[in-house]
Amino acid sequence: MRRSSRLIRNAVVVVVATMAVGSIAVAGKAAPAVKALVGGTLIDGTGAAPVKDSVVVFREDRIACAGTRAACPVPAGAEVLDVTGSWLTPGLIDAHVHFCQTGWADGRPDSLDLRDRYPYEKVEAGLRAHPERFLRADLCSGVTAVFDVGGYLWTIDLPKRVESDPFAPHVVAAGPLLSTMDFWLNLPAEKQFIYLGDDISARKAAHYVFNEGASAIKVWYIPVKTRPPDEMVTAVRCVGEEAVKLGVPLIVHATGLNEAKVALKAGAKMLVHSVDDAPVDAEFISMAKANGTIYCPTLTVVGGYLRMYEAAATHKPPVVDDPNGCVDPLTRAHVAETASLTLDPAVVQQKLDRTRARVNAANPVMADNLRRVVAAGIPVAMGTDAGNPLTLHGPAVYAEMEAMQADGMTPMQVLVASTRNGALALGSAGKYLGTVEAGKVADVLAVAADPTLDIAAMRKIRLVIRGGVVHPVPELAAPAR
């Protein structure tokens, strides 16, 4: 505090050293266009060693300088935020979300079918009209950019709709999923799952989502027992060829080693789930490295289904892991309602048993594969699959990051996966995101504990800065019911 007063002449000093964040002058209220965060320990997201007693200067929505006090003098007239005692990181990037899903069963009636009470058309219309509760929950949780990797067409417009909104993360979207399975979960007049039939329809489907404005082409590669495997392999390959011609990345959901290899042969730039049935082998690793494929392990999503089924079976409300109070009242009410649902107990028990068996079998394989992928130097990006039951938009990132750490990544590796590599996953849209470096968009978090010792420190977020706009976390928290 003293030091900053001495160093900074003509500067408006705002003290947040004690993290008394309520005292911060928030942008929008005639705040100076130049701001400086002073005194925090900077972890820039590149994996470089932290810089103690740092200065980060913003001009409008961009970072002008980030580094030591000597390297980044505070400009005269800047609004200074003293962040002594906190750690500064890039905003988190969740590289795997779905805004067409709610975080509960109403958006995934193939989990628990509640359509008599919550008609699917109505749920989807509500999401389209009001995505802001999830956008705010993201930002409140420190998530400043997300990749929606599959949903109805309106999600493709979301990036433009929210880019200038200081209460929303940056959004990149892939639009409808091209699926090897003829999946029923669609609206009467619109598909989020487009069936990949023969090679001609596969190529047409790729052009369709591209022409609608998708930033990537997403394939949902589910091996269907009643289809000849070669037919599905051909369809995925054709989509991959078109993605190359169209100049957009191919993203594939493939959880089996065979399917993942087909995806890599088709040129996949990102795999949005772990391989969970067998150890990744040398062929997988060499293809992933040759493609520059990003591996998004998505470790915790099936556990969310498991906790929902447990709550439905035991009639106890599930725990909501939301340390900063970011989850909106409607979502909270729905999650709590799981305990009082009247469902066929035999159906719930069967789902519970099946999901528990799946989690128990997959988790050790996913952990082992994450270690293999990291050891091979394949870039890993953090993604939660938010929107699936009990994987809540926003705070789901904490459990996901902690799972990555538990599976052997260092806290710093997890942080890079959740920032710089997330930006890499966003493709060209992520060019100016993901690190705290000059020229990048000013998306920065101030946290009250050291995330290089334990990634769980990211739960202790105090400030979220999105495009240079400073939000104390309590300002972003969900309104009371």
Q: Of the two residues 54 and 102, which places its CB atom closer to Zn ion in the complex?
A: 102
Longest CA span, the chain: 74
Q: Name the segment binding Zn ion (CB under 5 A); options: 166-174, 187-195, 374-382, 385-393.
A: 385-393
Give the residue from 399, 408, 478, 410 showing the smallest Cα distance to 450. 410
User: CA-CA distance, 454 to 438, in Å (whole number)?
Assistant: 27
Q: Using alpha carbons, list the distances in angstroms from residue 453 to 91, 324, 397, 462, 480.
A: 18, 21, 17, 18, 34
Asked if 398 and 456 count as a contact pair (C-beta separation under 8 A), the reply is yes
Residue closest to 280 by CA, chosen among 297, 301, 267: 297
When the beta carbons of 302 and 373 are compared against Zn ion, the nearer one is: 302
Q: Which is nearer to Zn ion, 95 or 478 (CB)?
A: 95
Among the listed ranges 8-16, 155-163, 194-202, 377-385, the one in contact with Zn ion (CB under 5 A) is 377-385
Q: Which stretch of DSSP H or E encloses residue 241?
A: helix 229-246
Residue 115: exposure state from Cβ atoms within 10 A (0-12, 13-18, ≥19): middle
- 195-209 exposure pattern, b = at least 16 Cβ within 10 A, e = fewer: bbeeeebbbebbebb
3-state secondary structure of 317: coil
Q: Is 385 in the site for Zn ion (CB under 5 A)?
A: yes
* Shortest Å distance, C-beta 144 to Zn ion: 20
Report the phi/psi class of residue 363: left, alpha or beta, with left for phi > 0 and alpha for psi in -120 to 50: alpha
Cβ proximity to Zn ion, 174 vs 412, nearer residue: 174
Residue span binding Zn ion (CB under 5 A) among the ranges 23-31, 71-79, 382-390, 399-407? 382-390
Closer residue to Zn ion, CB minimum distance, 248 or 470: 248
Segment contacting Zn ion (CB under 5 A): 101-109, 183-191, 381-389, 471-479?
381-389
Stretch 425-464 residues interacting with Zn ion (CB under 5 A): none
Please say which residue, 80 or 425, places its beta carbon nearer to Zn ion.
Answer: 425
The distance of closest approach from Cβ of residue 383 to Zn ion in the complex, given in angstroms and rounded to an integer, is 8
Minimal distance in Å, beta carbon 424 to Zn ion? Answer: 18
Give how many residues touch Zn ion by CB under 5 A: 1
Q: How far is the CB of 457 from Zn ion (least distance, A)?
A: 27
Compute the least distance from the CB of residue 272 to Zn ion, in Å: 6
Please say which residue, 35 or 98, places its beta carbon nearer to Zn ion: 98
Query: What is the smallest separation between the CB atom of 218 and Zn ion, expressed in angstroms?
Result: 9
Nearer to Zn ion, 80 or 97 (CB): 97
Q: Could you write out the DSSP letters of every residue in 411-448?
A: HHHHHHHTTHHHHHHTGGGGTT-SS-STTSB--EEEES
Binding pattern for the stretch 331-370 against Zn ion, x by CB under 5 A and - elsewhere: ----------------------------------------
Compute how many other C-beta atoms are within 10 angstroms of the C-beta atom of residue 224: 15
Closest CB 152 distance from Zn ion, rounded Å: 14
For Zn ion, which is the closer residue by CB, 11 or 270? 270
Select from 159-167, 355-363, 383-391, 446-454 the region that touches Zn ion (CB under 5 A). Answer: 383-391
Beta 177-179 vs 193-195: how paired, if at all? parallel
Which tokens in the block code for residue 335?
């999650």
Closest residue to Zn ion, judged by C-beta, is 385
Stretch that binds Zn ion, among 54-62, 379-387, 434-442, 460-468 (CB under 5 A): 379-387
Residue 347's identity, in one-letter code, is: V
Give least dist CB 98 to Zn ion, A: 6
Q: Shortest distance, CB of residue 400 to Zn ion, whole angstroms?
A: 13
Amino acid present at 356 = R
User: Residues in the site for Zn ion, rule: CB under 5 A?
Assistant: 385
